[in-house]
């Protein structure tokens, strides 16, 4: 087990007025750190400070398959023992699994991939439409201005407009949500996690999204809790969510 007194990781996270982690992608990494008991400390960044801070660390965003530059984003980490800086949840997860192999955490599986793909396609758009316009309510005034300006430019409409058909959207995805939740219970006889007795990255993908919703708006979180699968995975991951700052 890694030493518990001195941090080995600096985790860059999104600042907010609740002073706890609320980004679903950062939660995936925080859950790994907590599960593997890797000592770390958090640096919370306001939205406008993400790019200059990470650029100052020497990080460079990758490119999409079309050659478009990705944006600077959190999570990012600084691994102090090797002076390694990494940005984005997927490469960070791979690095942490390779550097801290115990306890093991499966990063992918056929069942996990199916769940993640279906969750993103079936639930993702409705989830984001409920969370994004409410996210601004837990940001500082400076981040609120940045968030509204950049998100509305990308959306081509006001954030609040995303909520116009909220109830209809949730009703429309109800059966799809139920189906994804049932997939999460495929190995229920073996344990509460997607793959049974032990967590996988897919569990942290699910729990991180749910915890994000819970911090932003409890009602969005509760919409998921009435479906089988979501509640079981979330509650099984609760021991790894105690450290949230």
Per-residue pLDDT of the chain (245 residues; tens, 9 = 90+): 444 579 999 999 999 999 999 999 999 999 999 999 999 999 999 999 999 999 999 999 877 666 677 899 999 999 999 999 999 999 999 999 999 999 999 999 999 999 999 999 999 999 999 999 999 999 999 999 999 999 999 999 999 999 999 999 999 999 999 999 999 999 999 999 999 999 999 999 999 999 999 999 999 999 999 999 999 999 999 999 999 99
**What is the per-residue pLDDT for 115?**
98
Total-model pTM? 0.95
**What is the per-residue pLDDT for 3?**
44
Shared domain check, 65 and 160: no
Shared domain check, 133 and 224: yes
Rounded to 5 degrees, φ, ψ at 130 are -85, -35
**What is the per-residue pLDDT for 2?**
46
Tokens of residue 151, six digits: 């998100």
Cis peptide before 103 (omega within 30 of 0): yes
Q: Which of 99, 119, 149 is the last residue of a domain?
A: 99
**What is the per-residue pLDDT for 65?**
63
Q: Which of 20, 46, 14, 22 is nearest to 217 (CA)?
A: 22
User: At CB < 8 A and 24+ separation, what contacts does 169-178 make?
Assistant: 169/125, 169/126, 169/129, 169/130, 170/126, 170/130, 170/223, 172/126, 173/122, 173/123, 173/126, 176/118, 176/122, 176/123, 177/122, 177/123, 177/224, 177/227, 177/230, 178/227, 178/228
Shared domain check, 73 and 174: no
Q: Which of 67, 99, 131 is the last residue of a domain?
A: 99
Q: Walk across the sheet containing 84-87 and list its strands.
A: 40-45, 9-14, 76-79, 84-87
The enclosing domain of 32 has a CATH number of 3.40.30.10
At residue 59, the 3 state secondary structure works out as: coil
The enclosing domain of 139 has a CATH number of 1.20.1050.10
């Amino acid at each position: 087990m890694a030493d518990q007194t001195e941090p080995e990781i600096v985790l860059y996270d999104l600042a907010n007025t609740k002073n706890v982690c609320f980004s679903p992608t950062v939660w995936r990494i925080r859950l790994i750190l907590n599960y593997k008991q890797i000592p770390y400390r958090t640096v919370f960044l306001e939205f406008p400070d993400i790019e200059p801070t990470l650029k100052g660390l020497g990080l460079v965003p990758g490119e999409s398959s079309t050659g478009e530059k990705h944006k600077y984003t959190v999570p990012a980490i600084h691994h102090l023992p090797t002076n390694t800086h990494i940005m984005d949840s997927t490469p960070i997860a791979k690095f942490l699994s390779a550097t801290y192999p115990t306890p093991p955490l499966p990063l992918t599986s056929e069942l996990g991939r199916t769940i993640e793909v279906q969750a993103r396609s079936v639930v993702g758009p409705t989830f984001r439409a409920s969370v994004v316009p409410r996210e601004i309510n837990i940001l500082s005034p400076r981040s609120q201005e940045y968030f509204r300006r950049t998100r509305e430019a990308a959306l081509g409409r006001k954030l609040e407009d995303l909520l116009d058909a909220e109830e209809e959207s949730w009703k429309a995805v109800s059966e799809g949500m139920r189906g994804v939740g049932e997939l999460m219970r495929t190995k229920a006889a073996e344990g509460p996690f997607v793959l049974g007795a032990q967590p996988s990255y897919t569990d942290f993908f699910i729990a991180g999204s749910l915890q994000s919703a819970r911090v932003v708006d409890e009602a969005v979180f509760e919409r998921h809790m009435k479906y089988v699968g979501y509640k079981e995975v979330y509650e099984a991951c609760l021991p790894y969510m105690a450290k949230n700052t």
